[in-house]
A = this chain, B = another copy of it.
Amino acid sequence: MKTKIICLLALMAGGMGALAQTNSTSATGEPANDWKPATSNQQGKPYPQVNSEGRVRARVIAPQAQSVQLDLGGVKYPLTKGDDGAWIGVSKPQDEGFHYYQIIVDGAQVPDPNSLYFYGASRWGSGVEVPAQDQDFYAVKNVPHGDLRQTLYFSKNANAVLRCFVYTPPEYEKDSSKRYPVLYLQHGGGEDETGWGSQGHAGLIMDNLIADGKARPFIIVMANSYVPGADFGFNTNAAQSPLSRSIGGPGGRAYNPVAFAKVLLQDLIPYIDANYRTRADQPHRAMAGLSMGGMQTHSITLANLDTFSHIGIFSGGGISTNEITDLDAFKQKVKLVFTSYGSREVTGGRGMGANGKINAEALKQAGVNSVYFESLLTAHEWQSWRRSLHEFAPLLFQN
């Protein structure tokens, strides 16, 4: 089982760059001249810019440099120097949504000083937002907003104070007697507990769904899959914050599925149920995750069907009927299995996503409430996962 997960992760890491490059390019080769500053820029910074084709135009001031590159989607684009000492260059069209990138100045791989910073690819670095047709579902609107809380909890298993984020719905503070279901929502490989609330826009997605009456209010808990001190698995050298850094002990963090399951089940869930107004039972507890987080969801929920009733696996495999030993019990306990992929992960009935779709269909045939979703023209990337949460949330806690 561990070997299988490692292989899948390697495939995903290798496949990300390639998948992101299958977008069409314009016929003339000349970029459309409708550049706008990316919404992911730092305030007042005019670059990087994005055009209607989804190309990214970066600009970096480096008067004495010999070479400057934009490293985006697995491709290193050369920038050219202008008379003002600023280097500028344009990428191929990118998928709609969010992409990690970096700048290379004479061999130094550094964040772009113009962008905001996000945790992914096992480091804090630059990200760029390519406007999406459907971006309204995660837009900031004048609707009631929930809080996104940075929460510190003590983990007996890790023997450390760990950080998670907790989204509480807008109405949470209004009626102090009401209790809420909980979704445990995990990031992907090389990411951390900040991902869903930042580049994932989980809070905004929920605020908008709730304001539209499309989802029931529930709590979302976003933890870090990498447990300090648990480096007996394979080490991806991931995930950090000022807080967790100062208490995670020496050395790196590592992902170990057994260690994370223990932290989740024995430390985090009891902490959340003791400190928030939750409905602390199986019918009102869900788990979902993207990529590596989807694989965690798969293994942890299948082994703990008395703890979780709703399952979401985004770009992270699926549940096969072969894995279910007692189908009647499964159907009785599991109210939803949601499987999703970006369409670029499912190419011509092949690729990682193909099996997920086949498994989801087989589950449905077997009488499980199985829902399959495919994000149009996106790959193994955040736009697929934002859309997945947006489709998944309305299906939760209907009973």
Task: Name A's B-contacting residues (CB within 8 A).
Answer: 39-44, 60-68, 85, 102-103, 105-113, 116-117, 123-125, 139-142, 145, 147-154, 161, 166, 173, 176-177, 197-199, 203-204, 207, 237-248, 251-253, 275-277
Whether A148 contacts B145 by the Cβ 8 Å rule is no
Query: Shortest Cβ distance from A71 into chain B, in angstroms?
Result: 12
Q: How distant is the Cα of A374 from the Cα of B57 in the complex, in angstroms?
A: 49
- Inter-chain pairs besides A44-B237, A105-B105, A111-B117, 12 sampled, C-beta below 8 Å: A43-B244, A62-B106, A63-B107, A66-B66, A103-B108, A110-B110, A111-B111, A113-B123, A116-B241, A145-B153, A145-B161, A149-B150
A149-B147 CB under 8 A given contacts A116-B241, A140-B247, A173-B276? yes
Residue with the greatest number of chain B CB neighbours at <10 A, chosen from A102, A103, A239, A275: A275
Whether A110 contacts B113 by the Cβ 8 Å rule is yes
Contact of A106 among B105, B166, B173, B238 (CB under 8 A): B105
Whether A141 contacts B123 by the Cβ 8 Å rule is no
Q: How distant is the Cα of A103 from the Cα of B62 in the complex, in angstroms?
A: 12
Whether A66 contacts B64 by the Cβ 8 Å rule is yes
> Which residues from B are CB-within-8-Å of A161?
140-142, 145
Q: Which residue of B lies closest to A247 (CB)?
A: B140
Q: How distant is the Cα of A111 from the Cα of B107 in the complex, in angstroms?
A: 15
Whether B39 contacts A246 by the Cβ 8 Å rule is yes
Whether B240 contacts A116 by the Cβ 8 Å rule is yes
- What are 5 contact pairs spanning A and B, CB under 8 A? A63-B106, A65-B107, A140-B161, A140-B243, A147-B147
Q: How distant is the Cα of A142 from the Cα of B177 in the complex, in angstroms?
A: 29
Q: How distant is the Cα of A37 from the Cα of B113 in the complex, in angstroms?
A: 23
> Which residues from B are CB-within-8-Å of A176?
176-177
Whether B107 contacts A62 by the Cβ 8 Å rule is yes
Whether A44 contacts B275 by the Cβ 8 Å rule is no
Whether B108 contacts A61 by the Cβ 8 Å rule is yes
> Which residues from B are CB-within-8-Å of A153?
145
> Which residues from B are CB-within-8-Å of A105?
62, 65, 105-106, 108, 110
> Which residues from B are CB-within-8-Å of A142?
154, 161
Whether B64 contacts A140 by the Cβ 8 Å rule is no
Whether A108 contacts B60 by the Cβ 8 Å rule is yes
Q: How distant is the Cα of A201 from the Cα of B53 in the complex, in angstroms?
A: 43
Whether B240 contacts A43 by the Cβ 8 Å rule is yes
Q: How distant is the Cα of A64 from the Cα of B42 in the complex, in angstroms?
A: 28
Q: How distant is the Cα of A237 from the Cα of B42 in the complex, in angstroms?
A: 10
Q: Which residue of B lies closest to A152 (CB)?
A: B145
> Which residues from B are CB-within-8-Å of A203?
150
> Which residues from B are CB-within-8-Å of A150?
147-150, 197, 203
